[in-house]
Amino acid sequence: MSNQTISDMDVLVLAPFGKDSVLIENVLQESGVQVRVANTALDLVAVIPDRAGAAIVAEEALAEEHMPELARKLEAQPTWSDFPMIVLTGGGVSTAATEFAVRARAPLGNVTLLERPLRAATMISAVRSALSARRRQYEIRNHLQERERAEQALRSARDALESIVEERTAALRRLSAQLLRVQDDERRRIARELHDSLGQYLAAAKINLDTMALSRDDVDDCFREVQGIIDRAISETRTLSHLLHPPLLDATGFASAASWYVQGYAKRSGIEASLQLPDDLGRLSVTVETALFRIMQEALTNVHRHSGSPRVDITLTADERTAALTVRDYGKGIPEPVLSGFRKSGINVGVGLAGIRERVKELGGSFEIQGSGGGTTLKVSIPVGERGRNVFAGPPSSQIYSSFAT
């Protein structure tokens, strides 16, 4: 029932004895009020409070057996509803019946008493007041329903926006993972080209220069300088090729590639580096091995560039389910506000750590970074699975490299 007005709400009348119901019906209808006469309290139960604006009940009808059911229905009204009841009382003489009627009307809630004999003007005024109050209740109900519809629309809009955000986030994550894969493939291709083409050309030039030097007794300084330049070009080309994508990673796996890289890192950076690996790590999947190597490579680059640490420890542990890599330095650490911003939004730390996080997310792993005045610890854990590895046995082994190694 919506947009209720006084004129289209029925007034129920339950006055089973005498002429009260007829008189009330006539008076109210003459005043433009719609009236429906109920024969029993059960008739009231059937229509209250949904299809009526108010009810006029004679006090003697409250003793009927259906009144408790009417009271239960009124108690079960929605929060916006407080159905008005007008009870016609006796002439003031208290009897056992009237006392029972008083107790019976207590649970009916919104009750107005009118004493008989009735005056038409008083009854009409009471009925119109009850109908006006009922109309305001329907206005409150309509307002609540409208608010509920608005809240539901907002919830639907929020859910739709969250769904769009999740889809866009997933799309960005897929794009990020694809870019990382393309980057790895491009590094592998460039490393192969450097080794197979430019490296071979330089090697051939070096052989020719050496042959020419052996055939000449008076090798001048300029000729020797050219030989030195070619030597350095070959060395740097080989180093660049290995740094872009070490052939050991494809040929023998992460353990060999990591050992080679950490040893070279210690020599180049002057930072003492400790590498701990399982004795018999075996081969992991290409995807996992590449991710672990790139994460270690990026972490060590950050240590060299930013930490000022004299030492770095790299540890890999693995079981049948996960491979966990930890890189710890002993430098100046990362300020907590910077770490907090990175954990919340992934900003303010450069692309290196962001790339590590995306690699780990793509593989369904976990990434944790802790920093303090005593250094920074980076931990990643990547699912391996039965198809991701071949062999694992034995305790970890330890290798230490330093800038003084030969």
* CATH number reported for the structural domain that contains residue 51 in this entry: 3.40.50.2300
Q: Classify residue 92 as left (phi > 0), alpha (psi -120 to 50) or beta.
A: left
Q: What is the pLDDT of residue 1?
A: 46
Contact between residue 382 and residue 288 where contact means Cβ atoms under 8 Å apart: yes
The answer to whether residue 242 is domain-embedded is: no
The answer to whether residue 80 is domain-embedded is: yes
d(CA 28, CA 7): 11
The answer to whether residue 48 is domain-embedded is: yes
Q: What is the pLDDT of residue 389?
A: 44
Q: Residue 57, Cβ neighbours under 10 Å: how many?
A: 26
Q: Which of 65-74, 147-156, 173-182, 282-291 has the highest mean pLDDT?
A: 147-156
Q: What is the residue range of 119's domain?
A: 6-147
Q: What is the pLDDT of residue 393?
A: 37
d(CA 384, CA 331): 31
Q: What is the pLDDT of residue 345?
A: 64
Q: What is the pLDDT of residue 49?
A: 65
Do 139 and 285 lie in one domain? The reply is no
Q: To which residue do tokens 């006029």 refer? A: 56
The answer to whether residue 206 is domain-embedded is: no
Q: Which of 184-198, 212-226, 272-286, 338-352 has the highest mean pLDDT?
A: 272-286
Domain limit, last residue, from 108, 124, 147: 147
User: How much is the mean pLDDT over the chain?
Assistant: 78
Q: Into how many domains does the chain fold?
A: 2
Which one is predicted more confidently, 389 or 347?
347
Q: What is the pLDDT of residue 124?
A: 92
Angle at CA 206, nearest 5°, toward 194 and 191? 10
The amino acid at 400: I
Query: pTM for this one?
Result: 0.48
d(CA 34, CA 52): 10
Do 133 and 255 lie in one domain? The reply is no
The fraction of the chain above a pLDDT of 90, given in percent, is 17
Q: What is the pLDDT of residue 5?
A: 45
Residue 332 CB contacts under 8 Å (≥ 6 apart), including other chains:
307, 308, 373, 375
Q: What is the DSSP string of 121-145?
A: HHHHHHHHHHHHHHHHHHHHHHHHH
Q: Classify residue 12 as left (phi > 0), alpha (psi -120 to 50) or beta.
A: beta
Q: Is it the case that residue 387 has pLDDT exceeding 50?
A: no
- The least confident of 274-278, 283-287, 289-293, 338-342 is 338-342
- Across 110-245, the runs of DSSP E, i.e. the strands, are 111-115
The answer to whether residue 141 is domain-embedded is: yes
The amino acid at 350: G
Which one is predicted more confidently, 401 or 298?
298
Quick one: average pLDDT of 280-297? 87
d(CA 198, CA 215): 26
The answer to whether residue 284 is domain-embedded is: yes
Residue 298 has phi, psi (to 5 degrees) of: -65, -40
Which one is predicted more confidently, 344 or 104?
344
The fraction of the chain above a pLDDT of 70, given in percent, is 72
Q: What is the pLDDT of residue 395?
A: 43
Q: What is the pLDDT of residue 103?
A: 61
